[in-house]
């Protein structure tokens, strides 16, 4: 990371810190100003938005149409605000494996495309600095000081796929204040454990599914780490995984919520009472399947985000499939940002089962999380196939527990009024991971 980027990032961070002392009213005034500027810019420079919001330039945000990934990608060249940007050129660069900034100034990030084709998201240098600041803010809230005189030792066990945001951010954050060991979550666990033991990180970062495995490795005395801070992100963090991590390392777990489209969305502060939304960088609407707002305390079906800082590729009411629950509590830390008190995964994680009458019922991932949280394993994954539910367990060593699990799962599903499917328990050595290193808790394969 060059010195200009470092200085830019530090100055961005300073600005973000001042926002954390605002009142709610000050924050809302700022949001309105930023949104007005974003919309004015989009209407001036994006042919797509001129058409998409035609006749609605003065309407409130909540009345604007929702932008899906499919529509975004289908109109990519008209949506971006620099006419030199061409999706075809970006795809070509990806195929050729070209690194470096596109057109000399754009950082390219791609979603993994676990559902459908990948989404492409561009940030110019200025916007990229805000992306880095948003991730760094989450670390600061956890007490990791950005200190130029001490290089923190960080270990990240996630994705080493180029173009994946965590990788691109990791590359640019290799910096004067940190030195990073980056491991792929797809490597064998013995190898990961050995390298972590050698490295002895002060800050440990991993997907939730990987952190759970590491916590078990620590509790069973194969892993010997004393991290000051432990971060999870990108995957659902169940209560049992949090408990295991806290048993292994004490109360040092900080969960973060981020997406390729937005960079950081929310993070825990030192009070661990949920995740504060970064509402000075993005506007978040928690909505049901028909895009109607859901009240606090209730899980929505998706989240609509409006990214206030991206002018290259404006995202206004962009739909991400996460199901979250907001709280109306305010925190003693005084930050004016609303709190996410639950994240239960993506709508795609819903499994559908027939009732005796032949109707289809959608079962929320939370039901499976609750049942699976009672099992003492290092990892699990539920795969819904035509012939029933396959429950993969790693580190399972109790057949009584497995039998009880089938009972509990059957009972929980029966309560939902569905015909209980066949349930197969399958002990495995390791839970299979996708190419990006993630191990989704729930999958459907037909």
| Distance (Å, whole) CA 446 – CA 365 | 18
Residues 142-181 that bind Zn ion (CB under 5 A): none
Please provide residue 114's backbone torsions phi and psi, each rounded to the nearest 5 degrees.
Answer: -65, -30
157, 189, 263, 269: residue in contact with Zn ion (rule CB under 5 A): 269
For Zn ion, which stretch binds (CB under 5 A), given 54-62, 189-197, 222-230, 262-270?
A: 262-270
Q: CB within 8 A of 55, min separation 6: which ones?
A: none
Closer to Zn ion by Cβ: residue 20 or 261: 20
Closer to Zn ion by Cβ: residue 4 or 333: 333
Considering the rule CB under 5 A, would residue 206 count as an interface residue with Zn ion? no
306: left (phi over 0), alpha (psi -120 to 50) or beta: beta
For Zn ion, which stretch binds (CB under 5 A), given 5-13, 19-27, 303-311, 324-332?
A: 324-332
Distances (CA, A) of 196 to 153, 183, 249: 11, 9, 15
Asked whether 326 and 342 are in contact (CB, 8 A), the reply is: no
| Distance (Å, whole) CA 271 – CA 93 | 44
Q: Total residues at the site for Zn ion (CB under 5 A)?
A: 4
CB of 38 to Zn ion, least distance (A): 27
Closer to Zn ion by Cβ: residue 331 or 348: 331
Site mask for Zn ion (CB under 5 A), range 41-80, x = bound: ----------------------------------------
| Distance (Å, whole) CA 374 – CA 93 | 47
| Distance (Å, whole) CA 281 – CA 307 | 6
| Distance (Å, whole) CA 124 – CA 108 | 9
- Name the DSSP letter for residue 299: B
Closer to Zn ion by Cβ: residue 17 or 271: 271
Closer to Zn ion by Cβ: residue 291 or 330: 330
CB of 296 to Zn ion, least distance (A): 16
For Zn ion, which stretch binds (CB under 5 A), given 74-82, 209-217, 322-330, 332-340?
A: 332-340
For Zn ion, which stretch binds (CB under 5 A), given 113-121, 271-279, 359-367, 385-393?
A: 271-279
CB of 276 to Zn ion, least distance (A): 6
| Distance (Å, whole) CA 45 – CA 124 | 15
CB of 337 to Zn ion, least distance (A): 8
Considering the rule CB under 5 A, would residue 17 count as an interface residue with Zn ion? no
Considering the rule CB under 5 A, would residue 333 count as an interface residue with Zn ion? yes
| Distance (Å, whole) CA 205 – CA 44 | 41
Closer to Zn ion by Cβ: residue 14 or 329: 329
CB of 247 to Zn ion, least distance (A): 24
For Zn ion, which stretch binds (CB under 5 A), given 24-32, 233-241, 265-273, 343-351?
A: 265-273
CB of 331 to Zn ion, least distance (A): 3
Half-sphere exposure of 205 (CA within 13 A, CB side): 26
82, 125, 331, 408: residue in contact with Zn ion (rule CB under 5 A): 331
CB of 342 to Zn ion, least distance (A): 16
Q: CB within 8 A of 346, min separation 6: which ones?
A: 321, 322, 323
Closer to Zn ion by Cβ: residue 91 or 329: 329
CB of 269 to Zn ion, least distance (A): 3
Burial class (CB in 10 A: 0-12, 13-18, 19+), 394: buried
CB of 333 to Zn ion, least distance (A): 3
Asked whether 256 and 231 are in contact (CB, 8 A), the reply is: yes
For Zn ion, which stretch binds (CB under 5 A), given 68-76, 156-164, 327-335, 352-360?
A: 327-335
For Zn ion, which stretch binds (CB under 5 A), given 156-164, 200-208, 328-336, 380-388?
A: 328-336
Closer to Zn ion by Cβ: residue 145 or 271: 271
Edge-first strand listing for the sheet containing 379-385: 423-428, 388-394, 379-385, 442-444
| Distance (Å, whole) CA 250 – CA 100 | 40
First to last CA, the chain: 45
Closer to Zn ion by Cβ: residue 78 or 331: 331
Please provide residue 274's backbone torsions phi and psi, each rounded to the nearest 5 degrees.
Answer: 120, -175
Closer to Zn ion by Cβ: residue 274 or 440: 274
| Distance (Å, whole) CA 100 – CA 98 | 7
Helix axes 125-141, 165-173, angle to 10 degrees: 90
CB of 25 to Zn ion, least distance (A): 18
Closer to Zn ion by Cβ: residue 269 or 277: 269
Asked whether 125 and 309 are in contact (CB, 8 A), the reply is: no
Binding residues vs Zn ion (CB under 5 A): 269, 271, 331, 333
């Amino acid at each position: 990371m060059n010195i200009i980027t470092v200085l830019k990032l530090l100055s961005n961070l300073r600005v973000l810190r001042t926002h954390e002392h605002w009142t709610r009213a000050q924050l809302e005034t700022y949001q309105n100003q930023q949104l007005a500027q974003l919309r004015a810019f989009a209407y001036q420079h994006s042919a797509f938005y001129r058409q998409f919001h035609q006749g609605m330039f003065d309407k409130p945000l909540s009345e604007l149409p929702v932008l899906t990934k499919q529509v975004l990608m289908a109109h990519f060249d008209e949506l971006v605000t620099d006419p030199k940007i061409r999706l075809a050129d970006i795809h070509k660069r990806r195929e050729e494996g070209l690194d470096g900034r596109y057109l000399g100034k754009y950082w390219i990030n791609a979603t993994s495309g676990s559902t459908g084709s990948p989404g492409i998201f561009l940030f110019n240098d200025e916007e990229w600095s805000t992306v880095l600041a948003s991730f760094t803010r989450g670390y600061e809230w956890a007490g990791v000081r950005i200190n130029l005189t001490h290089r923190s030792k960080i270990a990240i066990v996630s994705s080493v796929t180029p173009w994946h945001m965590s990788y691109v951010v990791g590359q640019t954050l290799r910096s004067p204040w940190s030195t990073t060991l980056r491991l792929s979550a797809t490597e064998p666990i013995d190898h990961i454990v050995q390298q972590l033991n050698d490295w002895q990180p002060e800050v440990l970062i991993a997907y939730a599914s990987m952190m759970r495995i590491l916590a078990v490795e620590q509790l069973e005395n194969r892993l010997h780490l004393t991290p000051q801070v432990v971060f999870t992100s990108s995957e659902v963090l169940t209560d049992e995984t949090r408990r295991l991590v806290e048993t292994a390392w004490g109360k040092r777990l900080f969960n973060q919520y981020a997406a390729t489209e937005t960079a950081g969305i929310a993070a825990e502060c030192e009070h661990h009472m949920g995740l504060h939304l970064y509402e000075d960088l993005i506007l978040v609407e928690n909505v049901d399947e028909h895009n109607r707002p859901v009240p606090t305390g209730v899980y929505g079906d998706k989240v609509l985000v409006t990214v206030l800082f991206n002018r290259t590729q404006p995202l206004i009411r962009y739909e991400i499939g996460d199901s979250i629950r907001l709280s109306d509590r305010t925190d003693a830390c005084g930050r004016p940002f609303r709190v996410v008190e639950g994240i239960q995964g993506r709508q795609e994680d819903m499994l559908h089962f027939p009732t005796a009458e032949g109707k289809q019922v959608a079962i929320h991932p939370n039901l499976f999380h609750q049942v699976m949280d009672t099992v003492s394993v290092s990892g699990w994954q539920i795969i819904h196939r035509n012939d029933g539910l396959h429950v993969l367990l790693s580190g399972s060593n109790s057949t009584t527990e497995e039998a009880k699990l089938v009972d509990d799962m059957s009972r929980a599903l029966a309560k939902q009024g569905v015909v209980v499917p066949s349930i197969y328990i399958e002990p495995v050595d390791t839970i299979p991971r996708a190419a990006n290193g993630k191990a989704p808790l729930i999958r459907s394969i037909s």
